[in-house]
Amino acid sequence: MKSRSLPLIASLTLVTTALAAPSGPVQEGSAIIPKPVSLQEKLGEPGFSLSQGIRIAPGSISGMASRVLQNVGIKTQISDKNPELVFSTDDKLGKEAYRLNVTPQKITVESSTPQGAFYALQSLAQSVTKDDKGTICFPTMAIEDAPRFSWRGLMVDSCRHMMPAKDIKKVIDLLARYKFNTLHWHLTDDQGWRIEIKKYPKLTEVGSSRTHSPIMGQRNKPDGVPYSGYYTQDEIKDVVKYAKQRGITIIPEIEVPGHAAAAITAYPELGNKDIENYDPKVVCSWGVFPYIFAPTEETFKFLDDVLTEVAELFPDSPFIHVGGDEAPKDQWKKSATAQKIMKENGLKNEEELQSYFIRRVEKLVNSKGKRLIGWDEINEGGLSPTASMMVWRDIRWARHAIERGNDVVMTHTDSLYLDYSQGPGAPNKPEYEVIGGNVPLEKVYAFNPVPSGITKEQEKHVLGCQGNVWSEYIPDINKFQYQVFPRALALAEIAWTPLELKNEADFKNRLNKQLPYLDEQKVNYRRPDNGAPARPDVVIKTTAPEKNQ
């Protein structure tokens, strides 16, 4: 058998080698973002020619590999006849690490998981270049790579304005290209409850609709246009699956005890109903509002049920985010019921009641097999030793939590709030309004997620960093893309690349080479050269998306 099949293999090899003739010398290197830990390119030597496309070895990863390469215009074929792109497992590599080796004849990927291989393919897809004859090719190169942090995130606020599931998928595609692995999905807030919960249908029947919104450019005037929308459980499952196939875990956020007006409007018995003038409504403007869950057993039972459904919808998320931010205590101060509960539990003040509330919710979250994460206000009144904290206000809170052994994710408002403006150049039109604050690209790039003054040993408590995209002034995908790109690429690099390799000039150079891809994908990014949108022809809406009107 062996001796008869050999000549066949030999002749096939000849044919295929002839097809995959190496390209001519390659002068331009790859412009990978985020910058890999180690990249060695052989410029001036032939690369791997793509004039005939590429033969991918069959296996569990080949379909995904084919999709990633086709997305950058490369013809692919899955074939075990002298494959040119091959995968192997090296269990010694970290979960997200990979090795990628490109020669004029062959491309090899080594990883310990499909996720590592996926990142190798993203690096490969970003390395398409041309040889001296203009033939499309990959440069001859060797990469060894692994991320600096395990949490590389972006938060999408679907409450103030809601992007349809198909647009969330577009966001996921771009995040995957730049090796993000976490999408934090803000699903409940004062202005809308956006996730279907079967046991409590009024959450979406009532809580997903508001009568109007502020007019863009005139933030204190109502637009008079009803706004509503939510994701069905089927849509959520579909988005979660889509994200998973692209190496992205979705962390759901269900806000407690504040930012809860929509839920309380749907089920008024969950609020502090014993106070005067109690009349909850889904909120139609932006800011911080008084309606906050009552700290009663009825509320905890409700949250238990909600979290059961949420945990089932996000099976791969290790965390459930429970908000915890901006919860005014006035209603608890006025409510006899809340005061009685404080007394019964020996709580000295309303801050301690907030802390009690969060600890009760943490037990529920843990009972579903998940860890609790919340905004840094969960610190006030005492931080649970097992909670993780998302630091958005003062970096000192991060140090405080880390010193106590809590894990943190850095989302600092001064550096990572992508709803803020980016510097000069946005068109002077109402639809380009932002909430306030200024975070230029350079400021994102300059941010170090590890706070100063902590020890090497404590650094392991910094899970990573995340950009937050609050959507008060982001009514649709076009404005979203304008706010998020290209700053998300700077964020991708600070989350992945070792600190000692950070170099702003080099980053900007690579960023310029990424723009043609973003153009091709029709991303409405902010032009780094003049601040204008990439696509002046796109219409950024000033009111609710059509579907929701």
CB of 318 to ligand TNX, least distance (A): 20
Size of the site for ligand TNX (CB under 6 A): 9
Tell me how far, at minimum, the Cβ of 265 lies from ligand TNX, in Å.
18
Binding mask 464-503 for ligand TNX (x = CB under 6 A): ------x-x-------------------------------
Whether residue 326 lies in the annotated active site: yes
Binding mask 263-282 for ligand TNX (x = CB under 6 A): --------------------
Residue 377 burial class via C-beta count within 10 angstroms: exposed 0-12, middle 13-18, buried 19 and up: buried
Distances (CA, A) of 546 to 232, 283, 537: 18, 20, 18
Which one, 325 or 352, has the nearer CB to ligand TNX?
325
Please return the burial class of 501, using the count of CB atoms within 10 Å of its CB with bins 0-12, 13-18 and 19+.
middle
Q: Which residue has the tokens 């943490």?
A: 362
Most distant CA pair in the chain: distance in Å?
92
Taking the least distance from each CB to ligand TNX, the nearer of 160 and 360 is 160
Active site residue 189: yes
Number of alpha carbons in the 13 Å side-chain half-sphere of residue 232:
3
CB of 180 to ligand TNX, least distance (A): 19
Q: Which residue has the tokens 């304005």?
A: 161
C-alpha distances (whole Å) from 57 to each of 108, 289, 529, 533 are 10, 57, 42, 41
| Closer residue to ligand TNX, CB minimum distance, 119 or 470 | 470
Exactly one of 326, 351, 352, 380 is catalytic; name it: 326
**Which of 375, 397, 445, 447 touches ligand TNX by CB under 6 A?**
375
Cβ atoms < 10 Å from Cβ of 144: 16
Exactly one of 259, 321, 412, 461 is catalytic; name it: 259
Q: Nearer Cβ to ligand TNX, position 433 or 472?
A: 472
Question: What one-character-per-residue DSSP string does 10-76 give?
Answer: HHHHHHHHHHT---SB--S----SSPPSEEEE-TTSB-EE-TT-EEEPPSTTHHHHHHHHHTTT--E
Residue 222 three-state SS? strand
Is residue 352 a contact point for ligand TNX (CB under 6 A)? no
Residue found under tokens 């939510």: 230
Is 76 or 331 the residue whose CB approaches ligand TNX more closely?
Answer: 331
For residue 458, give the amino acid letter: Q
Nearer to ligand TNX, 107 or 260 (CB): 260
Nearest Cα residue to 488 out of 466, 503, 462, 471 = 466
Q: How far is the CB of 399 from ligand TNX (least distance, A)?
A: 19
Q: How far is the CB of 64 from ligand TNX (least distance, A)?
A: 35
Q: Residue 273 Cβ, how far from ligand TNX at the closest point, in Å?
A: 24
Cβ-proximal residues to 360 (8 Å cutoff; 6+ apart), any chain: 295, 300
Which of residues 22 and 258 has its CB atom nearest to ligand TNX in the complex? 258
Closer CB to ligand TNX, 205 or 326, in the complex: 326
397-413: b (≥16 Cβ within 10 Å) or e? bbbbbbeeebbbbbbbe
Residue nearest to ligand TNX (CB): 470
- Burial of residue 233, with CB atoms counted within 10 A of its CB: 0-12 exposed, 13-18 middle, 19 or more buried: middle
Question: Active site includes 259?
Answer: yes
At its nearest, how many Å lie between ligand TNX and the CB of residue 160? Answer: 7
Query: Three-class SS of residue 98?
Result: strand
Does residue 419 interact with ligand TNX by CB under 6 A? Answer: yes
Name the minimum Å distance from CB 187 to ligand TNX.
13
Contacting residue, 325, 351, 352, 504, with ligand TNX by CB under 6 A:
325
Binding to ligand TNX (CB under 6 A) within 435-454 occurs at 435
Task: Indicate whether 392 belongs to the interface with ligand TNX (CB under 6 A).
Answer: yes
Catalytic residues: 189, 259, 326
User: Which positions touch ligand TNX (CB under 6 A)?
Assistant: 325-326, 375, 392, 417, 419, 435, 470, 472
